[in-house]
Amino acid sequence: MRGGTYRITEDTALIRSGKPVRLYGASITSGATAAKVSFRNGTAATDTLIYEGHGEPNLTVDATDIPAEGIFFPAGLFVDIDANATAVVCFAELVTG
C-alpha cells in the first residue's frame, strides 16, 4: 500500500486518479471565512459526495469524525476545496490487491 500525507491547495484527484483510496484524516486551513471541503468518490467535482469537512475562520481544523478504519473511496478520491480553504492536508493511502 502506498500511503502518506498530502498537502492540497486546489481541487485534485488524490494519489492516483481513479484508483481506490482510503482516507484516514484531514486538516482544513481556512482564510477569513470558514472553508468547506468535499471528498468525492471518483475523479471529478461532480462525482458522488462521500464526506464533507468544514473549517473555522482563520484556523486549522482536524476532521475528527473520520473513523479509525478510514473512509474508502473505491473509484478514487477527488478533493474539492472551496475558495475559502488555504490548504487541506490529507492522510490517505492507495489501496491495492
CB count in 10 Å sphere of residue 20: 18
* Residue 49's CATH number: 2.60.120
Angstrom distance (rounded) from CA 43 to CA 55: 23
Whole-number average pLDDT of the chain:
94
pLDDT in the model for residue 2:
65
Q: Is the pTM of this model over 0.85?
A: yes
Supply the range of the domain harboring residue 57. 2-94
Determine the average pLDDT of the residues in 7-14. 96
pLDDT for residue 1 = 45
pLDDT in tens, 70-79: 999 999 999 9
pLDDT in tens, 27-57: 999 999 999 999 999 999 999 999 999 999 9
CB 94 within 8 A of CB 8: no
